[in-house]
Structures are given as C-alpha cells and as structure tokens.
Amino acid sequence: MAKTTSFSHKLTDAQQETLFSILNEGNYRPYTVAHARIAVKSEGCNIVLYNSGKVVIQGKDAEDFVSFVLEPNVLGAAMLGYEAIHDPEASKPHLGVDESGKGDFFGPLVTACAYVDAELYSKMQDMGVKDSKCISSDDKALGMGGELRRMLGKRFAIVKIGPASYNRLYTKMKNVNTLLSWAHARSIENMLEVVPDCPRAVSDQFGSKQQVERALMKKGRSIKLVQMHKAESDMAVAAASIIAREGFLRALKDLEKKYGMKIPKGASAAVREAAVALVGKAGPQVLIDVGKCHFKTADAVLAAAGASRKDLGPDGQAVSRTIDRPFKARKSS
C-alpha cells in the first residue's frame, strides 16, 4: 500500500510547545509560511505548525515523521491517520449512528446519525472528534456538538424519544434493544433522505443486527449495515455520539429549567434523591414525564416517597409489568 503523504492534526498547547522545541532544535531548514508559528523542511517532508495549533506534515516521508517523531514524542500515542492507512473504508462515504441517554434514568433517549466522506473526515480529525464518552466535560460536548452540526449542515439526523414516549414504546416493545433498533433505523432512514446513495451505515454492536435491518423502511433496505465492537473508533459513529450527547444534555437542561432543580445524569443515589424531591414537588406521575420507568430507580423512588406504581397512572402500571426485564443490552433471537 502506498504511503500517505499528507497529515494534519490540531495540537493542545502543551503538544505545540513540545513540537516547537523539536523543530527549533532539530536538523531542519526553516522557511516562511503565512500564519505559521514555525515552518521547516527536512529531506523528505515539510512541517508547518500554525498559530491556530494545527500542524500539517506533507511530503514523501510524512508518514515516517508522524510514526517516528510526532506520535511518540508529541502525541504520546499512535493516533493520527492510521484509520485511513490501514482501513481505506474509514474515510469513504458512510453513515455512523449512536445514542445517548440509554443508561440515564432522567431524560430522553437520543439517537443521532452522521455522514462522513473524505473531506468531512479530515475536518473532523482536525477538530479532534472522538467518542463522546472520552470528552472530559459536558460543556466541551455541548460546544463540539454544535460545531459538528454547523459543519455537517443537513448531513446529520437526530431522533429524540422523550420520557413519556419512551415509556409508551417500552411498554409496547418490552425490550430496550428492540426500541434502540427502531430508533437507529429511523435515524438512518432520515439521513437517507439527504444522502440517498450512501452505501453503508456503522453502529455499535448492542444486539442482533437483524433487529435494525427489520426496522428499516424502503429507503434503508439497500444500505449495508455494519455492527462492530467499539464502533466509536469510526469517525462517523464518533461524530454521531457527540451530537447525540449534546441533544441529551440540552434536554436535561430543559428539565432543570422547567422544574427549577438540578437533574443529574446516570442512575446513582444522587439521581434517586433528585427524583424523590421531584415527586415531592409535582407528584408521582411526574416520573412518567421525566424518567425511564422500567428502571428499578422508579420503584426505589416511589417507595421512598410513600407511593406505588398505581400512583403513576395507567402508563406507569403498564411499564411495571415489564420491570423484570433488564435495561442492559442482551442478545436477541
């Protein structure tokens, strides 16, 4: 396979300082490039560190510089460009789909689908797009999600299932994987309205691939669906995970505004305490509108508030009939 001759990557402040020292003190010939902090030439490649923090390496020995200098000495990991080298499909046109909120008692289940081609792949690389679970703060996830949506324009889709709708669907489907398959399929279908000739879609392996394929409508029947372990390593899936996370976090902020209290993530003791306080303010039926009521959290909250499933109304009682089914992913026939 031919070597890749062009790389680019956005560096942190600390990484910029390290690279600047290497280029300034090494056996390189300086030259002038507009808006560059430093630009140098070696026998086989040119390296430019821009004021923005972006480094660009070009030339026949660019891959060697990345492998033997940039990654071990600056990045500290083999992380730049290898998807494109070892998996040529990585930057070819495809969709990625992921979700957020599945393990959170409060808030919606948000599924997002994002499109990637070679140009978008490069831009996302420069942005440092990665699995939303690896992003250090909610503020960063919110900011990056907005930036991705603006960059993609119409080339992303979101399916948000609010708690009340989630509880109704769960009562009907009686399995989280079935519900998730339906949401993934709707996201893919919505994207195919925009990119009808997209050849494949990638998602995490949460259950039977056939579940998603069966849920696809006419437009999605011709697309190749790929489920893979740790799918967030795929750029399109990583972008979808960030957009889904942004949607979920914004939904929690809306709940906080509506009820005037902090709405925590997850299903921890803090979540149970917040839910008990919320029931105290708005009554037991509020859980149908704010939480996923097949979680055992709902029973613990109702017990702490001196209430029961019957106090949730018909929807809550219906969800209780499936409470013995675990929320975590399980194999489907």
pLDDT tens across 83-126, in order?
A: 554 466 788 999 999 999 999 999 999 999 999 998 999 888 88
Q: Are 113 and 190 in contact (CB under 8 A)?
A: yes
Quote the pLDDT of residue 317.
55
Is the domain of 171 the same as that of 246? yes
| pLDDT tens digits along 20-43 | 999 988 889 999 999 999 999 998
Taking Cα atoms as reference points, which of 173, 153, 151, 149 lies closest to residue 161? 173
The distance of Cα 268 from the centroid of its chain, to the nearest Å, equals 22
Quote the pLDDT of residue 56.
93
Is the domain of 111 the same as that of 184? yes
Is the domain of 99 the same as that of 207? yes
Q: Is residue 72 part of a domain?
A: yes
Residue stretches of the chain with pLDDT short of 70:
1-3, 77-88, 131, 207-209, 215, 217-221, 314-333
Is the domain of 46 the same as that of 186? no
Is the domain of 70 the same as that of 102? no
Spatial CB neighbours of 81, under 8 Å, sequence gap ≥ 6: 4, 7, 63, 66, 125
Is the domain of 97 the same as that of 238? yes
Quote the pLDDT of residue 331.
36
Q: Is residue 327 part of a domain?
A: no
Is the domain of 170 the same as that of 50? no
Q: What is the pTM of this model?
A: 0.72
Q: Could you give the count of Cα atoms lying within 13 Å of 311 in the half-sphere of its Cβ?
A: 16
Q: Is residue 1 part of a domain?
A: no
Is the domain of 99 the same as that of 46? no
Is the domain of 22 the same as that of 106? no
Show the domain range for 176.
89-252
Q: What are the CA-CA distances from residue 331 to residues 51, 76, 178, 258, 328 (Å)? A: 50, 38, 11, 37, 10
Taking Cα atoms as reference points, which of 164, 209, 162 lies closest to residue 185? 209
Quote the pLDDT of residue 136.
73
